[in-house]
Every structure is written in C-alpha cells, then in structure tokens.
A and B are shown apart, each in its own frame.
Chain A
Amino acid sequence: MSSFAMEWYLIALLMFIGFYCMLVSRSIVRQLVGLEIVSKAAMLALISAGYWSNNLVFAQALLITMIVIEVVVVAAGLALLVKNFRLHGSADIWKLDSLKG
C-alpha cells in the first residue's frame, strides 16, 4: 500500500466526517465547523497531489490563494450566522423552512 493511497484514504475519511457534520448538525456554527473540515481535507488533497507529482511550489501558490478565499468565505458565513441570529433569535438551520412549495 503506497503512502499516497493511504494519505488520500485518510483525506476521504476526513471529508466524510465533515460532510456528516454538515448533514446532521442543526447549529449553523457546527455547519461551519463541518465546512472547515471539508475544506481542510480538500487542501490536503491539493498539497498531496502537488507533492507526489513534484509540483509542490505550484501547489503552495494555489494554497495561499485558497486560504485567503477560505477566510473570506468563513467570515461571510459567520456574518450570515449573526444576521440570522439577530433576525430569528436562533442559530438553528433546520428551523429555516419558510420557503417551500
């Protein structure tokens, strides 16, 4: 079993954990935690691919951009969380079901 395959296996596991979290948790904060875990897994996949294909510098360059994006995305998510909390008084995403039909 090559090291690469093992790493990606664990990355898949990490991704599973993150998506599981997004699937089952009601709290928007925990949704964001799940989201963070998934994106960590994606970053690991990227850097691992860079490492094993001898493109590490390139991968790092991409990763830095990704981290900037992640920060802004998480900040936007938290901003939405706070706005939702202000309007609805809760941070429960399962309660948001007024739009239907």
Chain B
Amino acid sequence: MNDPRLVLFALTALFSIWAVMARSLLTSAIMLALVSVTVSLIFFDYGAPWAGVFELSVCAGLITVLFIGAVSLIRSEEEKHPESRARFYALPLAAAIFAIAGWFYLPPFFAEMAGWARPGTGGGTIGLALWDMRRQDLLGQVLMLAAGVFVIKSVFPRRTEK
C-alpha cells in the first residue's frame, strides 16, 4: 500500500462512491469531475501524458460542463420528487461486501492473468501510433463527431414554424 498509484486508485473509488451517494445531482456532477481528475492523475503516473491531458480537458472539463448544464435544466423538477435514499446508503455496505468477497478471488485471478502477459515492444511516439497504426480509428472519430453533431441536430431541431 505504499504505492502512490494505489492511493490514487483508492481515491477514485472514494470519489465515485461519493458521486453516487450525493444527495444533490450537482454534487454528483462535481464528484464525477473529481473522479476524472484522479483518473487523469493515474494516467500521468503511468507515464501516459497524452491520455492524461485529454482526460483532464475533455472528461473533467467538457463532460462536467455538459452534466451541469443538464442538471440545472431539470433540477427544479427533480428536487420536488427526491428519490428514496435507502438504496444509496446501502452502497458502502454493498461495496464493502464486494471488496471483501472479491479479495479472496480477484487478486489471485488477476495475478495469474498477469503471468500470461506478453510484453510488447513499446517505443514509438503517440503521433506515429495514432497516424500509422490507428488510422481507421481516426476515421471512426470523424464519423463519431459527425454522428454527435447530427444527433444533437436531430434531437434539438431548429423549429421553423412553431
């Protein structure tokens, strides 16, 4: 437990429990942003700065903004009918049961899996990797972005007549 990365992992779990249990949706959204921040820190710790930067800017930034926007749109209605909290209070208990039960099975399973690892060559730069090996994914990204634009256009059409 002296590995700082594991501390960050634990912190992520903590923030996510908080995000799930928070009474207010706004708090949830902010906790989610914190989860993203810790995840991006983990990325930095792994030595994956590009992923970390993307995570920090897009997930912690853009998605949080989207969340907060949506939450503020529906908050008034939501607060009139708050949902029953009992199920959420059970989360720490459930997580603890899972953690303890899993402690006996999961780490040995993963440890054995790690034994099967086939180390790759590594090397190369992120730009080359993206452009040379993952060119189709870039095409997929373009398609995804186009799809996103059309989804928004379709769900929120510009109403000309009404």
Contact = CB atoms under 8 A, between A and B. Distances in A.
Q: Is any CB of A less than 8 Å from a CB of B in the complex?
A: yes
Contacts of A91: 74, 77-78
Given A5-B107, A85-B77, A91-B77, A75 B151 contact: yes
Q: In this complex, which of B51, B99, B106, B117 has the most chain A Cβ atoms within 10 angstroms of its Cβ?
A: B51
Interface residues of B, number: 86
A33 B134 contact: no
Contact of B144 (A40, A47, A72): A72
A63 B126 CA distance: 11
Contacts of B133: 58, 61
A99 interface: no
Interface string A1-45: 111111111111110111011001111011011101100100110
Given A44-B42, A53-B120, A64 B83 contact: no
Interface residues of A, number: 71
Given A16-B95, A29-B28, A65 B134 contact: yes
Given A48-B46, A60-B51, A72 B148 contact: yes
Interface string B100-115: 0011001111110110
Nearest to B137: A65
Q: Is the interface of B mostly helix, strand, loop or mixed?
A: helix
Contacts of A80: 155
A55 B120 contact: yes
Given A27-B83, A37-B35, A53-B120, A61 B130 contact: yes
Interface of A: 1-14, 16-18, 20-21, 24-27, 29-30, 32-34, 36-37, 40, 43-44, 47-48, 50-65, 67-72, 74-76, 78-83, 85, 89-92
Given A32-B67, A92-B81, 14 more contacts: A9-B103, A14-B13, A16-B95, A27-B83, A29-B28, A29-B71, A36-B63, A43-B39, A47-B51, A54-B121, A58-B129, A65-B134, A71-B148, A79-B156
Q: A-B pairs with the 10 shortest C-beta distances? A: A72-B148, A5-B110, A55-B120, A24-B87, A5-B111, A8-B110, A10-B9, A5-B107, A61-B129, A79-B155
9 contacts: A1-B111, A13-B13, A29-B70, A44-B12, A51-B48, A60-B51, A71-B58, A89-B77, A90-B81
